[in-house]
Chain A
């Protein structure tokens, strides 16, 4: 397959820079796959799985949340708020975060607290799911 230039970045730095043949990401509207020579594109990302396929055939899975996926002049950029490769996910920490978020959700005082807690829970659940995938 034809490779394209891909950059994955977060506010903490660049997570991947190089060639890829496919990227699957979870947008607010569902999963999308971008291949080479895609038209200019912009989508807001939700919380979920990102799958990169590199030219040598390796597939890397990651958990990401928030941010944007853009295609501009054939170059693809994923700018996420958080992005962790499957092997880098701290499962223990995610499990603790899930517990904490559930507690916060049940004791949320207003809509804002509830929304924040729900987002935190979503992120934790997505990390756990991806870390446990085969």
Chain B
């Protein structure tokens, strides 16, 4: 009886150790990927800042506040761009995004653009529409992919197929904090700076400038959000694996204690048997 339970405990310890090896390796991988992902996310910021200030100078210089890009309408559909991860085992990373999506996306009047395998799977499982395509893998989404999608979005917006574009991603605040975020990309003007800047010399027609800059702005925003989301994914995987390691260590400690007690019980029992056997002689 006692021997059998000793073997049970031994095999449990072994299996927990095996799991811990995996989580430890995953933590190391996530840590090294996180370093690169964080740099990539930081590199996208100057471009975004530049494009935002450009858009402000164009909207304030020419009377484009009444253009199609700034008009809000309740009639058409809303496009939700959903950025999630490629793989699981990253704590609440993927479910936080899908939970947020379910809480804000009205059924029926929404279309979707999933980025990342988990986002695509979620959208497919619910049978939602994604007429503008998707990016399958977050890790190797390049500037070109983002720009092509952004052009498609702008075309659909000018056709009136969609009247609102909302971006859902996980903002990389710091190594420890990542928050799911909703950001309205179109129509413009909700967070645009309305002060009048002196107007620059335009090469070409200023009203055409907006049509040129918008795909770049959307593509840049998408690219930057993807980079930030990927860094968040790595960070939350690292945190999740770190706590898995701690739990495994704790479990191994408890099991070792149990094992030693069981072993001690077996020895005590044997001695008692020998002593009582000797007394009987």
Contact = CB atoms under 8 A, between A and B. Distances in A.
Contacts of B46: 7, 9, 13-14
Contacts of B220: 11
Contacts of A112: 155
B44 A11 contact: yes
B203 A44 contact: yes
A43 B198 CA distance: 16
A42 B43 contact: no
B3 interface: no
10 contacts: A12-B44, A12-B143, A13-B43, A28-B203, A29-B204, A40-B199, A41-B201, A43-B204, A66-B147, A79-B216
B54 A44 contact: no
Contact of A28 (B47, B147, B204): B204
B148 A42 contact: no
A66 B202 contact: no
A133 B46 CA distance: 31
Contacts of A116: 148, 151
B146 interface: yes
Contacts of A12: 40, 43-44, 143
B240 interface: no
B50 interface: yes
A13 to B, nearest CB: 4
Interface in A32-88: 32, 39-44, 66-68, 70-72, 77, 79, 81-82
B213 interface: yes
Given A11-B223, A42-B57, A42-B58, A66 B200 contact: no
Contacts, number: 84
A23 to B, nearest CB: 14
Contacts of B57: 42, 72
B54 A70 contact: yes
Given A11-B143, A14-B43, A77 B50 contact: yes
A79 B209 contact: no
A113 to B, nearest CB: 11
A4 to B, nearest CB: 16
Nearest to B39: A13
A32 B201 CA distance: 13
A68 B201 contact: no
Interface residues of A, number: 29
Interface string A1-37: 0000001011111100000000000011100100000
B203 A43 contact: yes
Interface in B33-84: 40, 43-44, 46-48, 50-51, 54, 57-58
B219 interface: yes
Contact of A68 (B54, B199, B219): B54
A93 to B, nearest CB: 13
Contacts of B151: 116
B159 to A, nearest CB: 12
B50 A27 contact: no
B36 to A, nearest CB: 13
B147 A81 contact: yes
B178 interface: no
Contacts of A10: 47, 143
B54 to A, nearest CB: 6
B212 interface: yes
Contacts of B50: 9, 70, 77, 79
B94 interface: no
Interface string B16-44: 00000000000000000000000010011
A41 B216 CA distance: 18
B245 interface: no
A71 B200 CA distance: 8
B47 A43 contact: no
B224 interface: yes
A21 B196 CA distance: 30
